[in-house]
Chain A
Amino acid sequence: MDFKIRAAKQEDCKEISRMIIELAVFEKMQDQVKISTQELERDGFCSNPLFECQVAEVSEEQKSSQGYTVVGYVLYYYTYSTWMGLTVFMEDLYVMPEYRGKGIGKGLMSKVAQVGKEKQCTRLQLAVLDWNTRSLDFYIMKGARDMTASEGWHALRFDGEALDKLAAEAPKD
Chain B
Amino acid sequence: MFKLRKAEPRDVPDILRLIKELAKYEEMEDRVMLTEKDLLEDGFGEHPFYQCILAEWQEEQSNEEPKVIGFAMYYFTYDPWIGKLLYLEDFLVVEEFRGKGIGSEILKLLSHLAMKTRCGNMHFIVAEDNRSSIEFYKRRGAEDLSKEEGWRLFRFDKDSILKMAAPAEE
Interface residues, chain A, with chain B CB atoms under 8 Å away: 16, 20, 24, 29, 32-35, 39-40, 43, 50-51, 75, 77-86, 89, 91-92, 103, 106-107, 109-110, 113-114, 116-117, 121-131, 136, 139, 142-149, 151-167, 169-171
> Which residues of A lie under 8 Å from residue B76 when comparing CB positions?
50
Which of A24, A78, A103, A161: most chain B CB closer than 10 A?
A: A78
> Which residues of B lie under 8 Å from residue A170 when comparing CB positions?
108-109, 111-112
Shortest C-beta distance, B70 to chain A (Å), equals 14
> Which residues of A lie under 8 Å from residue B156 when comparing CB positions?
113, 123-125, 139, 142-145
Interface SS majority for chain A: mixed
Interface SS majority for chain B: mixed
- In the complex, the answer to whether B140 meets A171 with C-beta atoms within 8 Å is no
A127 and B42 in contact (CB under 8 A), knowing A82-B34, A166-B140, A170-B111? Answer: no
A154 and B121 in contact (CB under 8 A), knowing A79-B77, A83-B32? Answer: no
- In the complex, the answer to whether A79 meets B89 with C-beta atoms within 8 Å is yes
> Which residues of A lie under 8 Å from residue B155 when comparing CB positions?
123-125, 144-145, 147
Closest to B162 in A: A117
Is the CB of B50 closer than 8 A to any CB of chain A? yes
Is the CB of B126 closer than 8 A to any CB of chain A? yes
15 intermolecular pairs with C-beta atoms under 8 Å apart: A40-B80, A80-B50, A80-B75, A82-B19, A83-B23, A85-B49, A125-B153, A153-B126, A154-B147, A157-B145, A158-B111, A158-B143, A162-B143, A163-B121, A171-B4
> Which residues of B lie under 8 Å from residue A167 when comparing CB positions?
108, 111-112, 114-115
Question: B80 is contacted by which of A91, A106, A149 (Cβ under 8 Å)?
Answer: A91
Is the CB of B129 closer than 8 A to any CB of chain A? yes
Residues of B52-99 contacting chain A, CB below 8 A: 73, 75-84, 87, 89-90
The 3 A-B residue pairs whose C-beta atoms are closest, nearest first, are A162-B141, A143-B160, A170-B112
Q: With A83-B34, A130-B151 given, can you name 15 additional A-B contacts, CB distance below 8 Å?
A: A32-B82, A33-B80, A50-B77, A50-B83, A80-B75, A82-B34, A83-B32, A124-B160, A125-B154, A128-B154, A143-B156, A149-B152, A155-B153, A158-B121, A159-B122
Closest to B29 in A: A83
- In the complex, the answer to whether B158 meets A122 with C-beta atoms within 8 Å is yes
- In the complex, the answer to whether A110 meets B111 with C-beta atoms within 8 Å is no
- In the complex, the answer to whether B146 meets A154 with C-beta atoms within 8 Å is yes
A24 and B34 in contact (CB under 8 A), knowing A79-B75, A164-B115, A170-B112? Answer: no
Contact pattern, B 95-131, Cβ under 8 Å of A = 1, otherwise 0: 0000000000101110110110000111111111100
Is the CB of B1 closer than 8 A to any CB of chain A? no
Question: A156 is contacted by which of B80, B90, B114, B126 (Cβ under 8 Å)?
Answer: B126
